[in-house]
């Protein structure tokens, strides 16, 4: 059993309203020095394959389902 951590984040220049609103909320709560907040979606995928094939398989999942190539970058970590 392999756990693949897929990190799907927005490409540079794509608006991140959730991050911006979190930043505003932190400021309203009185936190100082916060310059920016970025939100990232992570999928922990539990797969029953050997580690050697896992990365290729998860890469395909990203292309077909998990990430939108127009707005997302993704990275895969096999644990």
Instruction: List, in order, residues 6 or more apart from 19 with CB less than 8 Å away.
Output: 36, 37, 38, 39
Interface positions with its own copies (CB under 8 A): 1, 7, 19, 22, 25-26, 29, 31, 33-49, 57, 60-61, 64-66
- Give the nearest distance from C-beta 53 to its own copies in angstroms: 9
Q: CA of 50: how far to CAs of 43, 45, 75, in Å? A: 19, 14, 19
Smallest distance, its own copies to C-beta of residue 64, A: 6
Nearest to its own copies of 12, 46 (CB atom): 46
Q: Which is nearer to its own copies, 65 or 70 (CB)?
A: 65
Q: Return the structure tokens found at 45.
A: 């995928």
């Amino acid at each position: 059993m392999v756990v693949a951590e897929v990190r799907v984040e927005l490409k540079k220049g794509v608006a991140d309203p959730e991050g911006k609103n979190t930043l505003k909320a932190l400021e309203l709560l009185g936190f100082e020095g916060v310059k920016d907040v970025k939100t990232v979606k992570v999928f922990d995928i539990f797969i029953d394959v050997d580690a050697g094939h896992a990365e290729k398989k998860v890469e395909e999942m990203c292309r077909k389902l998990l990430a939108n190539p127009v707005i997302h970058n993704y990275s895969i970590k096999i644990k």
